[in-house]
Structure 1
Amino acid sequence: MTKTLLLLPGDGIGPEVTAVARRVAGRLITGGLALSVEEAPFGGASIDAHGVPLTDETLARAKAADAVLMGAVGGPQWAGQPYDKRPEAGLLGLRAGMNVYANLRPARCFSALADASSLKRVFVDGLDLLFVRELTGGVYFGEPRGVETLADGQRRGVNTHVYTTSEIHRVARIAFELARARKGEVCSAEKGNVMEAGLMWREDVQALRDAEYPDIKLSHMLA
């Protein structure tokens, strides 16, 4: 059965990056891989062509594809756009629309490159971390948000940092499951010292670990 890879080049270096990915995919297809590579406008390129960073059609194609590879978005030429019409708004819309709530960011240091780091070799040689970042909750998506003019003429900007237990649990489960295939350790980072939502994050992650992942060593860190 043929799988579909949707490329979203975006703008900036995005088209350059995804063009190389298309070449790699082409070699795999030539080698017998049942893969169909498609492309759709996204980010600044979509703004220029359609007036919005993420069209309904592009989102529908992304949700229907087996995999999506995004290039990059953002640039000074779109800085004057309202927030909901900037390239970055397309990225947030894509995250929310596809419900991709967990971002995996590996950090590894190969021994041959340890001396190239600004940190001492003893701290980075053999480094192998995996950051699991929550993507569809928190301050990027919380409501209310916006800029308002007060009665005295001042302006006030508002962004709301908000999480529910289910949002915390689902991304924490990803971290715990991945940890089982690694060293069996998870460090959860939040701002529970000054933010109630951060304290709730700490408590809910701990409760999930105690109930379902007693084999995982959990520590907490202030971000």
Structure 2
Amino acid sequence: MTSNKKLLILPGDGIGPEVMRQVRRVIDWFDQRRAVSFDLSEGLVGGAAIDAQGVPLTDETMAQAMAVDAVLLGAVGGPKWDALPFERKPERGLLRLRKEMDLFANLRPALVFDALADASSLKTDLVRGLDMMIVRELTGGVYFGSPRGIETLPDGTRRGINTQVYTSPEIQRVARVAFDLARLRRKQVCSVEKANVMESGILWREEVQAVHDADYADIQLSHMYADNCAMQLVRQPKQFDVIVTDNLFGDLLSDCAAMLTGSLGMLPSASLGAADASGRRRALYEPVHGTAPDIAGKDMANPLATLLSFAMLLRYSLNLGDDADLIERAVQKVLAGGLRTADIVTPGATKVSTSGMGDAILGELDKLAA
């Protein structure tokens, strides 16, 4: 029996609770069929926390997040809370989690299931079988550097200032995350920057290379300018295994890679913190999609991105790769069988509800575990 792992579930707002409900069913299945047990706690975040507790995240829930093995989040926000002051908006709860857990490495996989290959805007042969990971530095760079602001010059014109800044430790730690992930995959890392025109890019390239040479000689490392990487993503995306890049370029390139799959509603993500002495990292897992308030409560939402986020949790926080594989294989088989929620339905496919998709996943898990 695997010792119980502590998970905090934060369903959030909109479709968050209903997609998370299907993940809870899968967690129960693992408890019964795979001898993988979890100590689960559930809390409020975002608009749900504002309505019940007056703030987007309480100190108590924050303390829980710091203590567990991993956090699984649904989605936060919605028009109901748009008029609130900036500091009280639902999204502040998610930002507080990321900041206080020091989640500096954002993992965004771009995985194309065979059954959905023709949903991409690219030719099918370019994306069929695509399986890549973008590791984005999440807490530094131009979004956080100073000086920043808007100033009025003596001649009356205005100037906007943002500063791209990185230190060696910030680069080194996200590089190590990328190299460690590559060891679990195809052992290839492409480091992306603009060393041809930016000093911060020169530092990025030098520090990533130094980490590689010191500790990761078994990994194939390449370097690429960000503009070329954007071109290569739409030219020949399957050349990439793991891409590691800074906050700004990661923001842009991960969204580009996401759309290679043709379905934003299918994509999971993870945000990881630094490893402690035991190797444990604080981690938060969440689907890329938003709260979709227009379909909330209608049993229409696609739960697969949240379920695949749980698979990432099993793989990267709990070292349960076989169990993560099981979920991903179940998703593949359900899609190959022609079942689709409304967001990914195609002519000839069978449209199912949120709970119907959960039923189908559990059915495939039963078959795979038999």
TM-score, structure 1 as length reference: 0.82
Structure 1 residue 140 displacement after superposition: 4.1
Match of 2:171 in 1: 168
Distance in 1, Cα, partners of 2:101 & 2:10: 14
Task: Figure out how many residues of one structure are paired with residues of the other and give that number.
Answer: 222
Distance in 2, Cα, partners of 1:213 & 1:162: 25
Distance in 1, Cα, partners of 2:198 & 2:86: 26
SS in 2 for 1:162: coil
Structure 1 residue 16 displacement after superposition: 1.7
Say which of 187, 190, 201 aligns to 1:187: 190
Identify if the C-alpha distance between structure 1 residues 184 and 142 changes in structure 2 by more than 3 Å, giving closer, same or farther.
Answer: same
Structure 1 residue 194 displacement after superposition: 4.4
Say which of 42, 47, 68 aligns to 2:45: 42
Identify unmatched segments of 5+ residues in structure 2: 227-370
SS in 2 for 1:197: helix
Match of 2:266 in 1: none
Structure 1 residue 148 displacement after superposition: 6.5
Structure 1 residue 82 displacement after superposition: 4.1
- Whether the 8 Å CA contact 1:107–1:127 is kept in 2: the answer is yes
Structure 1 residue 175 displacement after superposition: 1.0
Identify if the C-alpha distance between structure 1 residues 140 and 13 changes in structure 2 by more than 3 Å, giving closer, same or farther.
Answer: farther
Say which of 54, 59, 62 aligns to 1:59: 62
- Whether the 8 Å CA contact 1:22–1:37 is kept in 2: the answer is no
SS in 1 for 2:213: helix
1:73 equivalent to 2:51? Answer: no
Match of 2:17 in 1: 15
Identify if the C-alpha distance between structure 1 residues 142 and 82 changes in structure 2 by more than 3 Å, giving closer, same or farther.
Answer: farther
Percent of aligned positions that are identical? 60
- Whether the 8 Å CA contact 2:190–2:223 is kept in 1: the answer is yes
Identify if the C-alpha distance between structure 1 residues 7 and 195 changes in structure 2 by more than 3 Å, giving closer, same or farther.
Answer: same
Structure 1 residue 42 displacement after superposition: 0.7
- Whether the 8 Å CA contact 2:212–2:219 is kept in 1: the answer is yes
- Whether the 8 Å CA contact 1:138–1:160 is kept in 2: the answer is yes
Q: Would you identify which runs of 4 or more consecutive aligned residues in structure 1 move more than 6 Å?
A: 151-157
Distance in 2, Cα, partners of 1:91 & 1:54: 8
Choose between structure 1 and 2: higher strand proportion: 1
TM-score, structure 2 as length reference: 0.53
Identify if the C-alpha distance between structure 1 residues 80 and 21 changes in structure 2 by more than 3 Å, giving closer, same or farther.
Answer: same
- Whether the 8 Å CA contact 2:153–2:159 is kept in 1: the answer is no
Identify if the C-alpha distance between structure 1 residues 19 and 139 changes in structure 2 by more than 3 Å, giving closer, same or farther.
Answer: farther
1:211 equivalent to 2:253? Answer: no
Match of 2:111 in 1: 108
- Whether the 8 Å CA contact 2:46–2:89 is kept in 1: the answer is yes
Structure 1 residue 3 displacement after superposition: 2.9
Identify unmatched segments of 5+ residues in structure 1: none
Which sits farther off after the overlay, 151-160 or 88-97?
Answer: 151-160
Computed over aligned residues only, the root mean square deviation of the Cα atoms, in angstroms, reads: 2.9
Deviations 1:148-175 (A, max 9, x none): 6759898876654432211111111111
Identify if the C-alpha distance between structure 1 residues 76 and 167 changes in structure 2 by more than 3 Å, giving closer, same or farther.
Answer: same
- Whether the 8 Å CA contact 2:76–2:90 is kept in 1: the answer is yes
